[in-house]
Amino acid sequence: MKAVQMVKAGAEPELRDVPKPTPGPGQVLVKVTAAGACHSDDFVLNAPEGAFPYPLPMTLGHEGVGVIAELGQGVSTVSEGTAVAIYGPWGCGVCHFCSQGLENYCSRAADLQITPPGLGHDGAMAEYVVVDDPRHLVPIGDLDPATTVPLTDAGLTPYHAIKASLSKLLGGTTAVVIGSGGLGHVAIQMLRHLTPARVIALDVTQEKLDFAKQVGAHEAVLSDADAVENVRKITGKDGATAVFDFVGYQPTINTAMGVVGTMGDVTIVGLGDGKAAASVGFWSQPYEVSVRTPYWGARAELIEVLDLARDGVLDVAVERFSLDDGVAAYRKLAANDLRGRAVVVP
């Protein structure tokens, strides 16, 4: 079968022919109907050699949707032919975090060498993918695979991030979204649907600012050296109640800290260059600001996000590519030339 694989650190992925996998005991084989390309893939592909000691070559794709094709020995809770989304941040299933569905924070995953598909072992950017346990599958019914697959990360991650600030985002408050890309454009829609907050989006080109407004931002502001001043012109002295940074470089973290108001939340989702740091201390930000760095989301939250999609409140923008053009999808992502998410449809 065809697969888009990371072959070498610091190099472009490659389209390669690999054997079709077979599910082991307890596992499930999924025939992929859509796989998403995430900026985190780009981060991993370009990280220095050894930073992510994945066994290479490795099939990319931590966003996957497909149809159950074959059940491993002993699997009885799911059936062949069911359309499913894959929950990516796998954990051990039994530790305290996993018991709450927060497998993204499994305390034993590292020790047990449990990794997400596409981020440590073969992922979904192929014709077939093996899923380790049926609990990592959520039925999607008749949702469209291509517009649904980004919800497994570009939907789940902002949803988990926003949920933590929901109780603060009341009438008259402001939420700021930095970076209106794959995750950011879904975040804007979730904020509009789940809260009465005024949403201000930031990005680096007029095209992206127009896109942010099309998906629901009330205001769009260029993310430049004047961004803090321009956002504060809108929020007034109170500043923003919640800031979600989907970029995570030092300049955007500085912007986030500059626009947040007293008792506000700063949530840094973007990985940036892996080096940026929030300057935290008594004189660095308003009183009682909370700073968070959430990773992905809980299993139950993926079910909630798919329910939002079923309610028709999410309009996920996707650019479709064939598996043969999977490498081109990553090129376009790296060039920051996408509107929404790049999705490979095998």
Say whether residue 206 binds ligand NAD (CB under 6 A): no
Alpha-carbon distance of 3 to 125, in angstroms, equals 6
What is the smallest separation between the CB atom of 268 and ligand NAD, expressed in angstroms? 8
Among positions 42-81, residues that touch ligand NAD (CB under 6 A) are 43
Rg of the chain over Cα atoms, rounded to whole angstroms, equals: 20
**Residue 58 Cα distances to 6, 16, 45, 77, 199, angstroms:** 5, 10, 11, 29, 39
Helix, strand or coil, per DSSP, at residue 296:
coil
Structure tokens at 333: 């992502």
How many of the chain's residues bind ligand NAD (CB under 6 A)?
33
> By C-beta, is 266 or 269 nearer to ligand NAD?
269
Alpha-carbon distance of 110 to 91, in angstroms, equals 9
CA 126 and chain centroid, separation: 19
Say whether residue 92 binds Zn ion (CB under 5 A): yes
Residue whose Cβ sits closest to ligand NAD: 181
Nearest of 271, 175, 292 to residue 231 by alpha carbon: 175
Say whether residue 21 binds Zn ion (CB under 5 A): no
Of 32, 75, 202, 266, which one interacts with ligand NAD (CB under 6 A)?
202
Alpha-carbon distance of 246 to 269, in angstroms, equals 5
Among positions 99-128, residues that touch ligand NAD (CB under 6 A) are none
What is the smallest separation between the CB atom of 1 and ligand NAD, expressed in angstroms? 26
Say whether residue 182 binds ligand NAD (CB under 6 A): yes
| Residue 211 touches which of Zn ion, ligand NAD, none (Cβ within 5-8 Å per kind) | none
Nearest of 287, 35, 149, 169 to residue 177 by alpha carbon: 169
| Residue 77 touches which of Zn ion, ligand NAD, none (Cβ within 5-8 Å per kind) | none
For tokens 């506000």, what's the residue?
264
Say whether residue 298 binds Zn ion (CB under 5 A): no
Binding site for ligand NAD (CB under 6 A): 38-40, 43, 153-154, 157, 178-184, 202-204, 208, 223, 246-249, 251-252, 269-271, 294-296, 333, 336
For binding to Zn ion (CB under 5 A), which residues are involved? 91-92, 95, 98, 106, 108
